[in-house]
Amino acid sequence: MFDFYNRIADTQIDIVYLGETVCSKRKLLRRDDWLSLAKLLQDAGKEVVLSSMTLIEANSELSALINLCRNTDFIVEANDMAAVQQLSGQSFITGPAINIYNPHSLQVLARQGLKRWVLPLELSRQTLVDMQQEKPDNIETEVLVYGRLPLAYSARCFTARAHNLSKDDCQYRCLDYPDGLILSTQEQEKFLVLNGIQTQSAKTSNLITELDDLIQHNVDVLRISPPSRHCEKIIDVFYQCLHQNYPLDQANDELQALMPAGGHCNGYWHGSSGMDWYTKTQEAACQPTPS
């Protein structure tokens, strides 16, 4: 873990989100370790954000969240309304699992101290455009442009279930699957990914070919949710496109080679099923192709 973040410190990435967002049982690092990683990245010139848990059920999870929100050194990403409640009155960021679907909601959170929000994953380009037109000036907009999509959270651990274990006796089997456990249909189509209590898309969402559109609509931050491998290469491709006019089609080809199994998708951006893939030429006709 420390090796990984040492390498990230040397990349061109501007912002790093740190911390466990899925399962409170996964304690790969202690809180102090996370904070020392945060300091390391900050010293390397990165903006560091401490991410918080998405599904908060037990009192112990709530206590940990409250502690995290009370840190005074780093801004926090809220992924549950409990965090928004805790962070009200100070500057904070909302992750994709906070439901901000309309400008009215954005204004409610702006009153609480919202600094930056992430477009919820199932919302389209058109909704983003509408939001950008009405959002308060001082709020930044972030869009997930690369990575498997976190689609759902449950009390049940599906990785443990796949091993005939209960969540309370999960034996941390998820650690054996750094990119999650593939769930396929009975026709062997890679469909979803089981990541403990979280279910992700098997397809990697990739908006690299929409980069000009994102910039034109004043998106401030592009988020990459990296697979277990090739993170630095993916960052480099996006950086070259943003700063060195690297051709987007070529970048798209390169990113496809770096994806984990399952293919790619961008349907949500086009107002369609999330799993669909639209090529640039198909956009006009609005017809997805199987990917």
Partner 1 sequence: MTVSNNQHTTNKMELVCPAGNLPALKIAVDNGADAVYIGFKDDTNARHFSGLNFNEKRSRDAIEYAHHRGTKVFLAINTYPQASGWDRWQRAVDLASELGIDALIAADIGVLDYAAANKPDLRLHLSVQGSATNPEAIRFYYENFGIQRVVLPRVLSLKQVEQVATSSPVPVEVFGFGSLCVMVEGRCLLSSYVTGQSPNTFGACSPASAVQWQDTTDGLQTRLNNVLIDQYGANDPAAYPTLCKGRFQVSGNTYYAIEEPTSLNTIALLPELQAMGVVAIKLEGRQRSPAYVKQVTQVWRAALDACHNNAQNYQPKAEWLQTLYSVSEGRTTTLGAYHRPWQ
Q: d(Cα 177, Cα 190) in Å, to the nearest integer?
A: 16
- Binder to partner 1 among 72, 138, 186, 289 (CB under 8 A)? 186
CB of 134 vs partner 1, minimal distance in Å: 7
Contact between 184 and partner 1 by CB under 8 A: the answer reads yes
Structure tokens at 101: 């679907």
DSSP code at position 48: E
3-state SS record for 155-207: CCCHHHHHCCCCHHHCCCHHHHCCCCEEEECCCCCEEEEEECCEEEEEEEEEC
Closer Cβ to partner 1, 29 or 82, answer by number:
82
Contact between 287 and partner 1 by CB under 8 A: the answer reads no
| Planar angle of CA 245, 246, 252, nearest 5 degrees | 135
Closer Cβ to partner 1, 62 or 242, answer by number:
62
Q: Report the site for partner 1 in 46-85 (rule: CB under 8 A).
A: 54-59, 61-62, 65-66, 80-82, 84-85
Strand partners, 76: 50
Q: Report the site for partner 1 in 192-231 (rule: CB under 8 A).
A: 192, 194, 199, 201
Q: Which residues contact 88 (CB under 8 A, 6 or more apart)?
A: 112, 113
Contact between 273 and partner 1 by CB under 8 A: the answer reads yes
Q: Report the site for partner 1 in 149-168 (rule: CB under 8 A).
A: 149, 151-158, 161-162, 166-168
Closer Cβ to partner 1, 61 or 142, answer by number:
61
- Binder to partner 1 among 86, 141, 209, 266 (CB under 8 A)? 86
